[in-house]
Amino acid sequence: MASVENRLAINLCGIELDNAVIPASGTFGYGREFAEVYDINILGTFSFKGTTKEPRLGNPTPRIAETPCGMLNAVGLQNPGVDKVIAEELPAMAKFFHKPVMANVSGFSVEDYVYTCEKLDKETQVGWLEVNISCPNVHGGGMSFGTDPEAAAEVTCAVKAVTTKPVIVKLSPNVTDIVEIAKACEAAGADGISLINTLLGMRIDLKTRKPILANTTGGLSGPAVFPVALRMVYQVAQAVSVPVVGMGGVTTAEDVLEMMMAGATAVEVGAANLVDPLACKRIIEALPAAMDKYGIKTLKELKG
């Protein structure tokens, strides 16, 4: 029988990973706090905090609200900006994480994405660029790049022109046809597609009669979104030939297997990290037994 390491190994855009489990951007910071709790080198990799060209303080508080089977967040891409990430966060990260890391990039114009991706592409620690196109396009009236196939393709094409590393485009589920957008990104040169980002939602405080979040609306994540995410991963994986990274409400080893059966090559774990800092460690450790239960020899054989 193959060893545990061989059984769990996958290949994402040409880079070998020890396993398919990846903490999602925005839920794992730069890994430092988690590295104090366990050896995060057990992970396949992780997607670090969404990085923008300029530093961002994020949205006003309160910006997180609990919901049944999930949570709402409107953090607003708080981060120190790409220059500080390169100067301070990446060198610090190199001391405790010894694998290629996924750099999550956000922007408010095509030029923003190009600037940030070009800089991060030069960093040896960065294995993949995960380009989050759920951000509002300041030159397009505030509409998210990820809601329009042409805008999504424009960002993808522009980033590919200035980078050498695999570009994985992260899609928003807040669209009519996510498949059309995924296909546009693939046609523009994307090396992979990741989905889903959070679903738009809101809560109201009955006492104050006002929205709980200062931003009024926020992104819904957690177990509540898993069936929606699985459906979209399945649809996109059927429509594109590049690898798909699935995420959205993943909390167990069984969820990982289900995502991979739907067509995901790798699986990101988001909100679960905020509930349990050991979530990804527990999922990885539980995978061999879950695979045995369902007669799965290796993760590589499972996709789709």
CA distance linking residue 23 with residue 21, whole number of Å:
7
In contact, 186 and 42? CB cutoff 8 Å: no
> Quick one: which of 163, 160, 104, 164 has its CA closest to 135?
104
In contact, 131 and 156? CB cutoff 8 Å: yes
Which phi and psi (to 5°) does residue 35 adopt? -65, -20
> Quick one: which of 302, 266, 245, 272 has its CA closest to 17?
266
Give first-to-last CA distance, the chain, whole Å: 23
CA distance linking residue 223 with residue 271, whole number of Å:
8
Q: Is 93 exposed, middle or buried (0-12, 13-18, 19+ CB in 10 A)?
A: buried
The helix (H) or strand (E) run that includes residue 33 is helix 32-35
157 is annotated as an active-site residue: no
At 8, is the secondary structure helix, strand, or coil? helix
- 60's CB contacts (< 8 A; 6+ apart) are 214, 215
- From 13, 117, 135, 185, the catalytic residue: 135
CA distance linking residue 19 with residue 255, whole number of Å:
14
In contact, 21 and 43? CB cutoff 8 Å: yes
Catalytic residues: 135
